[in-house]
Amino acid sequence: MRQGFLVILLLVLAESLFGQRFAGYLYSDYSGVLGAKSQPASLADSPYKYDINLLNGNFYVTNNIAFRNKASENAGLVRFINDKEKFLQANLSIGGLSAMLSLPRKQGIALNMSARFHASGNDISPDFIQQFNRFSRPEFIGRTIVDQQLEVAFGAWYEIGLTYAAVIKDNGFNRWKFGITPKLVNGLGAGFARLNDLDYEIDNQLGEVRMTDLHLEFGYSSNLDEFEQFDGTEPFSSPKGIGFKPALDFGVTFERVAFRGDPSESSGTRLDPDITYEFKVSASITDLGIFKYDLGRASTNAPSLLPNPGFLDLEGKFDGLSSFRELADSLATISNTESLGGQFTVTLPTALNLNYDYNLGNYYYFNANVIVDLTRYIPADYRLNHLTNLTLTPRWEKGQRGFYLPVHVNQIGDFQVGMAARLGPLTFGTQNIGSLFSQTPSSGSFFFSINISKLKANSKKPYCFGVNQGSANTTQLRKPLYKRKKWIFF
């Protein structure tokens, strides 16, 4: 799968898969400054006085095109053979030196910085994807294939976001919160491949291919021209950005205030709860923005075939390609081609996030989160999108500790079970724990975060039985009897 036409179409995607975000954990109020990435309103009346993120990272990829064979023999990527519509989703983010601070009157502010990569491919026709480089297999000989389509896109960028959140209404029973994050995003590069139509038939004996229709276009941003994967001679490294552009996240949350007895410690003392709602419902729109790039030199449109191309050894013709320029040159031997010029636009992965969180008491919670793709409603040439998906997460959280068990399913039916834990300053987890043990994984995920934080509740709470720790890991001694005034008994 690393040779030929298919690889060039997915070149940057396939080589970027070293790189849902923070599944399950991100939807908790204990996620602090990172929680603003999904819901800016979560910083209003936050359980934290402050939360400083030193470093965080998230990697996630899932697809039904190929799986990775871990066996010592035939190790590598192996394509699925089935009639299912194909998809690819991948994201990678690295961040840190971000912080949030609670302000008086139940307000909060935060600064978030990160570098992100996102790739998506949806509605990919299965036949050509699984047949290329294997046309001579008996099950493919003699077949006629029509109406093959494909669209993939990728993008990478830096972003800096400043979040403000506040409780806008609180009557003691219900709370309304609002948050907004204006962002500056600096595009590091983007690319696309769109196969509008491909028809072909496979020879009955040799496995050669006669193409009867082809309309393909592919391209990338001009700031990638110097790298050898595109049209240059330099190995790929971090490209220069195109300058900062505006983007936006915003959201609203409704909370029903909890009327439950405070949890009790083994010593018999009472703790003030860090989380004070019975349930909350929230909605947010994240990553609202568009990049505009100049097209790179090797960007190409192939609108039609040359006359009478005949049966071709398609595998040999496109074998061993390693750049977009080489792909364009090979295409010119069988089809009419023209260079694409001008500019193209690509969306950020704009999404609607719908969330419900229920406080079961005794530190147990249940969360349901839906991500709905909104990029189809944004006027742009290409889109970085999410598959619409649902994540259900039972969790246990107490102060500086937490355990999460997210169950994730997307619109294609891709099903995953993850696991995560929060232990003091360190949070780590995976969205698909099965991929760690499977010999043939088709997805992979890992995330971590290192934070320094201080919770509000119990940070100054006195205790009646000597030294005791609250959920914020702070202490306060009760004043000794001989120092008390005579008319004070407690």
Domain extents in the chain? 5-19+22-457, 461-490
Which residue type is seen at 213?
D
Confidence (pLDDT) at 441 = 60
CA 295 to chain centre: 26
Residue 277's SS3 state is: strand
CA–CA separation, 283 and 289 (whole Å):
18
- Whole-angstrom Cα distance, residue 259 to residue 174? 12
Q: What do you get for the CA distance between the two ends of the chain, in Å?
A: 75
**133 touches 13 (CB < 8 A):** no
Alpha-carbon distance of 96 to 26, in angstroms, equals 15
Tell me the residue type at 456.
K
Residue 392 is predicted with a pLDDT of 95
Query: In DSSP terms, which residues pair with 201 in a beta bridge?
Result: 144, 210
CB 270 within 8 A of CB 289: no
Residue 427 has a pLDDT of 95
Neighbour-count burial of 135, counting CB atoms closer than 10 A to its CB (0-12 exposed, 13-18 middle, 19+ buried): buried
Q: How far apart are CA 93 and CA 114, in angstroms?
A: 7
pLDDT value, residue 467: 42
Residue 133 parent element (H or E): none
Total-model pTM:
0.84
Residue type for position 218: F
Of 465, 366, 370, 376, nearest in space to 408 by CA: 370
Q: Where are the beta strands (DSSP E) in 171-314?
A: 174-202, 209-220, 244-257, 277-288, 290-294, 300-305, 311-312
Query: pLDDT per position in the chain (490 positions), as tens?
Result: 334 444 444 433 433 333 356 778 899 999 999 999 999 999 999 999 999 999 999 988 888 887 777 665 666 677 778 888 888 888 899 998 899 999 999 999 999 999 999 999 888 899 988 888 888 888 888 899 999 999 999 999 999 999 999 999 999 899 999 999 999 999 999 999 999 999 999 987 778 899 999 999 999 999 999 999 999 989 988 888 999 999 999 999 999 998 655 566 655 566 778 889 999 999 999 999 999 999 999 999 999 999 987 888 887 888 778 889 999 999 999 999 999 999 999 999 999 999 999 999 889 999 999 999 999 999 999 999 988 899 999 999 998 999 999 998 888 777 889 999 999 999 999 988 876 666 566 677 889 999 999 998 776 654 444 444 444 444 445 555 555 555 544 4
393: exposed, middle or buried (Cβ count in 10 Å: 0-12, 13-18, 19+): buried
User: What kind and span of H or E run contains 414?
Assistant: none
Nearest to 199 by CA among 286, 304, 282, 117: 304
